[in-house]
Structure 1
Amino acid sequence: MVPEAETRGVLDELQRLRARVPLLAGALAASTDGLVLAHDTPGIEAEGVAALTAAALGVSIRMTEATGRGGFRELLVRGENGYIATYTAGSSAVLTLLAEDRINVGRLHLEGRRAGARIGELVDTALERAERTPPMPRTAPSRGAPNRTLPQRPT
């Protein structure tokens, strides 16, 4: 996953974004499979929003492919009380913004796209660095103790 230093950088970017766009009610960066990387979402359950973002992302990707519109870039949902906007953030993350109904949607897109690009750079760089770093050697479990390591994902 993304190291703590990069996660801090992502959170800093989310907080700067909320400072630049006062009508944002929350900002969340998540992996494309729905795991929270960082969030600034007061009063909102970040894990639930990240999981819903992953579900919406899956449908959006299929929709852009089925209609020949190319790769997914962004999704905008408007509810009675505001907007939810999701933007790509590199190759393995997304940025989801929660905005009040009075927001200037053009400004939302401008700032969301820029922040998504910066977050994507942070996350992609961290993941590339992690792939180049050799894994830590595993120690043998003590006699009689079960091995508690999780199975590794195939690469």
Structure 2
Amino acid sequence: MPQPRPPDPLVLAEVLAEIHRLRARLPQLTGALAASVDGLVLADDAPGVETEGVAALTAAALGVSLRLTDATGQGGFRELLVRGDGGYVATYAAGTSAVLTLLAEDRINVGRLHLEARRAGARIGTLVDGTNATTTT
């Protein structure tokens, strides 16, 4: 089975541009990152955040989420929302090989967060999966 390799630098630049557009549409975001499902940071805009650690934690949470949705018959992973005292951490599927993780202030409109993040995740997934589909070892 071919092993996926990191996307082309031009694809990563497009992923970063999508993250920047998302942050412009949602000013209450304090950080955003796209990562592979195994925890490799693909692109980020998260000042003051150790994104490699967040990507690794996201991969771990994704593993638990996949097991939970499977065990309960809810289908494949789509998103995960965690609310803390200071705000939200939200992770969205971005195609089959990536995820989009967002950090948001507590005052964000969660419905708008979901709407914008689902769209951005779909665009990022198309970019990343398109690269992996054409990659062979």
TM range (shorter): over 0.9
Does residue 1:72 correspond to 2:77, yes or no?
A: yes
Runs of 4+ in 1 over 3 A off after TM superposition: none
- d(CA) in 2 for partners of 1:64, 1:124: 22
- d(CA) in 2 for partners of 1:52, 1:6: 24
Does residue 1:93 correspond to 2:79, yes or no?
A: no
Does residue 1:55 correspond to 2:26, yes or no?
A: no
Q: Which residue of 1 aligns with 2:117?
A: 112
Instruction: Return the letter of the residue paired with 1:21.
Output: L
Q: Which residue of 2 aligns with 1:9?
A: 14
Q: Shift of the alpha carbon at 1:5? A: 0.5
Instruction: Return the letter of the residue paired with 1:35.
Output: L
- d(CA) in 2 for partners of 1:57, 1:126: 22
Does residue 1:82 correspond to 2:81, yes or no?
A: no
- d(CA) in 1 for partners of 2:64, 2:129: 23
Structure whose alpha-carbon radius of gyration is higher: 1
What SS is found at the alignment partner of 1:34? coil
- d(CA) in 2 for partners of 1:127, 1:18: 26
- d(CA) in 1 for partners of 2:69, 2:134: 31
State TM-score, norm by structure 2.
0.95
Q: Which residue of 2 aligns with 1:26?
A: 31
Q: Which residue of 2 aligns with 1:35?
A: 40
Q: Shift of the alpha carbon at 1:85? A: 0.4
Query: How many equivalent residue pairs?
Result: 132
What SS is found at the alignment partner of 1:99? strand
- d(CA) in 1 for partners of 2:85, 2:79: 20
Q: Which has the higher contact order (CA 8 A, sep 6+)?
A: 2
Cα RMSD between the aligned structures? 0.7
- d(CA) in 2 for partners of 1:129, 1:69: 30
2:132 aligned residue (114, 127, 140): 127
Sequence identity, in percent?
A: 70
Q: Which runs of 5+ in 2 are unaligned?
A: 1-5
- d(CA) in 2 for partners of 1:3, 1:129: 11
- d(CA) in 2 for partners of 1:51, 1:29: 12
Q: Shift of the alpha carbon at 1:128? A: 1.3
- d(CA) in 2 for partners of 1:11, 1:116: 12
